[in-house]
């Protein structure tokens, strides 16, 4: 689960990591109030959205005079921000973080992720802060320090030490930098993070260490033990259809095409999308109704697909295995009747009692195109996509 | 012949009184798997379908000599169940549970260092040596005894490929689902190594997907260590970056882990890469018959 920058900074503070002085604002008035409280000369307004690349997209603005804060906040709030990391639809800006502007002497990168192969956390650091770590790792791997942490004993002081000296900073920063590294690691473990990143971690002209930007992603599977994090969820940052799908335990992701697909199992769902593309059509979505899909889930899946106005045909691909295809087919027929679907529907069912399932679909009187296998289904999707003749079942 | 499980495998089902555990214990027995015990704390002494149930895995192992375990325990307790099985001396632990926190799995991997156990999963359909033993949730009847090994990060997509092979009369030695999570037990390289040394396996199918570097590692291993032909399909060529496609492991981040990159790595190593998920069976058939060579 993603959280906002201001929420991440609050957590950093809880772990003793300094952040710039600031407050959130949801209106231009509030923004001005925050600026007044901060006093000082210059302010930065930062759009709080669940995506990076805000700076280049106009989501971060430095304001030199307090008189201009309200106007700038007015311009940013309520807008949709499209950045290099968002979809075309962008993300709505409902909250701004208003902060003091710091005089920066140096920018550092500090982040923690999980190394899947070694099955342990790894701390990444670089003296080249402010750039994307993935790019840095690709272009200047010699500039990235990586410390693998033994989860049994945790982060050892010598490792924090090694990171600090690797960064080539002034000795006077040893204590604050090591405290920040240790704090960030504690946070990563205690909050079940999949990513905890400070980028950049800056040294100010005055010689202070401050986390200028922060990104924390928490493992969805661990949210049950972090109600305080689960409560930070901001649904405005998520696609409404994806939110609706999640309520029914369906895994849905909106894509750009017009072939709505409903599949059981994530791998088969991805393969089905690939297949649609191979026959010259475009998938409208990823929809996984789960390895053990039930008729009820199929029905909810149908509903979600129909909400998407781009969908021009529906492809159902269920490899039931142990699931009984007759009950599943019954569910498909009932859902299609109830929801009055007037789009072409291609169904591929496999599993126990598959013949009976196909018979139920064929005899339903509804316009299903029943495919006999994946290759046959692909052929039929391609035909309909090209507007060609379709053998109705 | 087969790998990991065979007719000597004696299975204890952890969580046998739960909904999933009960159903699949029955299915496994119906397939012919030697399910010898169940574990469910507090339920000892209440037999399940003629199978003795114990409070702890240690009790189950002592009484029945179980050497493999199927873990059907809810996500928040599953990592603990896996460790319990390993501590009790279970050799092959198959963890079917989906949704285990990553840090819990990191602890498991740490715990099992130096132990004699191997872990399959979590978030896997399980492992099956057709005709001998099935530990998992896959439908037994789609499989057929034979000489092609399969290893996969996915569930239903594996069934799809198995089905294509079986319908062509090509049987399987063992099918191993390594699981869709970021941190897992056995990986592709471990399984490839077992298949390479298994006399009952002539060729291997890898079913990979976007995210991570498991397929790239498999390619590197194949290049230096394998003599048997390998055929691969990678799901997710149409997946948008930065989105989690169902499996926690299936995410492309920072341009890494794309399907294109993986397919290129596999192809360059000399693995037959199938672009069409509906065509895996055909390619395997061609490779086995010698119609397709490098």
B247 is a catalytic site residue: yes
Which range of B92-106, B208-222, B245-259 scores highest in mean pLDDT? It is B92-106
* Contact (CB<8Å) A272/B277: yes
Whether pLDDT at A390 is above 60: no
CATH architecture of A21-101: 2-Layer Sandwich (3.30)
Above 90 in pLDDT, residue A297? no
* DSSP bridge pairs for A198: A110, A214
Residue A135 to chain B, least CA–CA distance (Å): 8
Distance between CA A202 and CA A208 in Å, rounded? 8
Q: B271, B222 in Cβ contact below 8 A? A: yes
C-beta of residue B71 within 8 angstroms of C-beta of residue B127: no
Strand partners, A92: A80
Domain boundaries for CATH 3.40.50.261 within chain A: 240-385
Cβ-proximal residues to B23 (8 Å cutoff; 6+ apart), any chain: none
**B235, A277: Cβ pair inside 8 Å?**
no
For chain A, give the mean pLDDT.
Answer: 91
Location of structure tokens 């119609």:
B291
Over 80: is that where the pLDDT of A293 sits?
Answer: no
Quote the pTM value: 0.92
**pLDDT more than 70, % of chain A:** 98
Closest CA in chain B for residue A221: B101
How far apart CA A33 and CA B115 sit, in angstroms, is 61
pLDDT of residue A331: 84
Q: Could you confirm whether A147 is annotated as catalytic? A: no
d(CA B253, nearest CA chain A) in Å? 8
- Mean pLDDT confidence for B138-145: 94
Least trusted range by pLDDT, from A179-183, B104-108, B119-123, B288-292: B288-292
Partner B contacted by A242 (CB < 8 A): no
Token pair of B231, please? Answer: 């055929």
Q: Chain B contact for A264, CB < 8 A? A: yes
CB spacing of A116 vs B249 below 8 angstroms: yes
Query: Regarding the domain delimited by A1-20+103-238, which CATH topology (the fold level of the hierarchy) does it fall under?
Result: D-amino Acid Aminotransferase; Chain A, domain 1 (3.30.470)
| Distant-in-sequence, close-in-space partners of B33: CB < 8 Å, separation ≥ 6 | B9, B11, B133, B134, B135
In terms of pLDDT, which residue wins out, A248 or A213? A213
pLDDT digits (tens, 9 = 90+) for A118-154: 999 999 999 998 887 877 887 888 899 999 999 999 9
The three-point CA angle A47-A1-B120 to 5° equals: 155
Q: Across the interface, do A151 and B107 touch by the CB < 8 Å criterion?
A: yes
C-beta atoms of B237 and A272 within 8 A? no
Q: What is the pLDDT of residues A322-338, one digit of tens each?
A: 777 888 888 888 888 88
The candidate with the shortest Cα–Cα distance to A263, out of A302, A310, A219, is: A302
Q: What is the ipTM of this complex?
A: 0.90
* CATH domain A240-385 topology: Rossmann fold (3.40.50)
Surface of B (142-161) touching A: CB under 8 A: 142, 152-160
pLDDT band at B253 (very low <50, low <70, confident <90, very high): low
Q: How far is B10 from chain A (nearest CA, A)?
A: 23
Q: Could you give the CA distance from residue A352 to residue A323 in angstroms, rounded to a whole number?
A: 6
Instruction: Give yes or no for B11 touching A (CB within 8 A).
Output: no
Task: Give the Cα separation of A119 and A149 in Å (integer).
Answer: 10
Tens digits of residue pLDDT in B161-179: 999 999 999 999 999 999 9
Estimate the crossing angle of helix A266-278 against helix B156-167, to 10 degrees. 60
Pairs across A and B, CB distance < 8 A? 182
Q: Work out the percent of chain B whose per-residue pLDDT is above 90.
A: 84
Would you call A265 and B246 a contact, using CB atoms and an 8 Å cutoff?
yes
Stretch(es) of chain A classified as CATH 3.30.1490.20: 21-101
Q: Please check the confidence at residue A393 and state whether its pLDDT lies above 50.
A: no
- Residue A314 near residue A260 (C-beta atoms within 8 A): yes
Of A87 and B276, the one with more pLDDT: B276
Domains detected in chain B: 1-123 (3.40.50.720), 138-294 (3.40.50.261)
Pick from A286, A266, A355: nearest CA to B158: A266
Q: Are B45 and B57 in contact (CB under 8 A)?
A: no
Min Cα separation B246/chain A (Å): 5
Alpha helices (H) in A40-81, listed in sequence order: 69-76
Question: How confident is the model at residue B117, as a pLDDT?
Answer: 97
Distance between CA atoms of residues B224 and B217, nearest Å: 11
Task: Please judge whether B156 and A373 are an interchain contact, meaning their C-beta atoms are less than 8 angstroms apart.
Answer: no
The yes-or-no verdict on residue A89 having pLDDT over 80 is yes
Start-end of CATH 3.30.470.20 domains in chain A: 1-20+103-238
Give residue B243's pLDDT: 66
* Tens of pLDDT, residues A340-383: 778 899 999 888 788 898 899 989 888 889 998 899 999 999 99
In contact, A361 and A370? CB cutoff 8 Å:
yes
Q: What is the pLDDT of residues A28-72, one digit of tens each?
A: 999 999 999 998 889 999 999 999 889 999 999 999 999 999 999
> What is the C-alpha separation between B203 and B228, in angstroms, rounded?
6
The B residues from 29 to 68 touching A (CB cutoff 8 Å) are: none
Q: What is the overall mean pLDDT for chain B?
A: 93
């Amino acid at each position: 689960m993603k959280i906002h920058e201001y929420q991440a900074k609050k957590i950093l503070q809880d772990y003793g990591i300094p952040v710039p002085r600031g407050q959130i604002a949801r209106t231009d008035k509030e923004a001005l109030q925050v600026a007044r409280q901060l006093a000082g000369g210059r302010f930065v307004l930062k759009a709080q959205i669940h995506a990076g690349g805000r700076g280049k997209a106009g989501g971060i603005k430095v304001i030199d005079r307090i008189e201009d804060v309200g106007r700038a906040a007015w311009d940013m709030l309520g807008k949709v921000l499209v950045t290099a990391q968002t979809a075309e639809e962008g993300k709505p800006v409902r909250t701004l973080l208003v902060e003091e502007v710091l005089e920066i002497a140096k920018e550092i990168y500090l982040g923690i992720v999980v190394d899947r192969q070694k099955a342990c956390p790894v701390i990444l650091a670089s003296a080249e802060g402010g750039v994307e770590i993935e790019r840095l790792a690709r272009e200047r791997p010699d500039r990235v320090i990586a410390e693998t942490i033994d989860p049994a004993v945790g982060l050892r002081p010598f490792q924090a030490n090694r990171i600090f000296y690797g960064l080539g900073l002034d000795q006077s920063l040893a204590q604050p930098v090591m405290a920040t590294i240790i704090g960030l690691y504690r946070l990563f473990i205690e909050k079940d993070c999949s990513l905890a990143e400070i980028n950049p971690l800056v040294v100010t002209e005055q010689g202070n260490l401050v986390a200028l930007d922060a990104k924390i992603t928490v493992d969805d599977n661990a949210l049950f033990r972090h109600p305080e994090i689960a409560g930070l969820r901001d649904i405005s940052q998520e696609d409404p259809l994806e939110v609706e799908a999640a309520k029914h335990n369906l895994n849905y992701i909106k894509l750009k095409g017009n072939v709505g697909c409903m599949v059981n199992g994530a791998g088969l769902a991805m393969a089905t999308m690939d297949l649609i593309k191979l026959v010259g059509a475009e998938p409208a979505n990823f929809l996984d109704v789960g390895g053990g899909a039930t008729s009820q889930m199929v029905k909810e899946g149908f509903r979600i697909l129909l909400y998407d106005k781009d969908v021009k045909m529906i492809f159902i691909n269920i490899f039931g295995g142990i699931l009984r295809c007759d009950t599943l087919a019954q569910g498909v027929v009932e859902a299609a009747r109830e929801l009055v679907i007037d789009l072409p529907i291609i169904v591929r069912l496999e599993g126990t009692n598959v013949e009976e399932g196909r018979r139920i679909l064929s005899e339903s009187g509804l316009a299903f195109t029943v495919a006999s296998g994946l290759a046959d289904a692909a052929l039929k999707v391609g035909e309909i996509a090209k507007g060609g003749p379709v053998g109705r079942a | 012949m087969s790998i990991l499980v065979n007719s000597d495998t004696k299975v204890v089902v952890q969580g046998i009184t739960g909904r999933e555990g009960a159903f699949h214990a029955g299915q496994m027995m119906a397939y012919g798997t030697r399910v010898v015990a169940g574990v469910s704390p507090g339920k000892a002494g209440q037999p399940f379908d003629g199978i003795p149930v114990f409070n702890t895995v240690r009790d189950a192992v002592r009484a029945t000599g179980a050497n493999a375990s199927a873990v059907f325990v809810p996500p928040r307790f599953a990592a603990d169940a896996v460790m319990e099985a390993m501590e009790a001396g279970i050799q092959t632990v198959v963890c079917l549970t989906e949704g285990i926190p990553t840090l819990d799995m990191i602890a498991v991997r740490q715990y099992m260092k130096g132990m004699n156990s191997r872990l399959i999963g979590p978030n896997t359909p399980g492992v099956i040596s057709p005709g001998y033993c099935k530990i998992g949730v896959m439908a037994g009847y789609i499989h057929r005894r034979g000489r092609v090994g399969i290893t996969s990060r996915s569930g239903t997509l594996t069934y799809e490929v198995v089905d294509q092979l079986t319908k062509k009369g090509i049987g399987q030695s063992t099918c191993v689902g390594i699981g869709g999570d970021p941190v897992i037990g056995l990986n592709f390289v471990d399984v490839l190594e077992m298949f390479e040394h298994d006399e009952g396996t002539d060729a291997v199918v890898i079913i990979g997907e976007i995210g991570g570097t498991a397929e790239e590692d498999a390619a590197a291993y194949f290049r230096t260590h394998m003599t048997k032909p390998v055929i691969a399909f990678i799901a997710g060529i149409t997946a948008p970056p930065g989105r989690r496609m169902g499996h926690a492991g299936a995410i492309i981040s920072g341009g890494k882990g794309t399907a294109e990159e993986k397919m290129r790595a596999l192809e360059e190593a000399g693995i037959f890469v199938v672009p069409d998920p509906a065509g895996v069976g055909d390619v395997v058939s061609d490779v086995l018959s010698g119609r397709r060579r490098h």
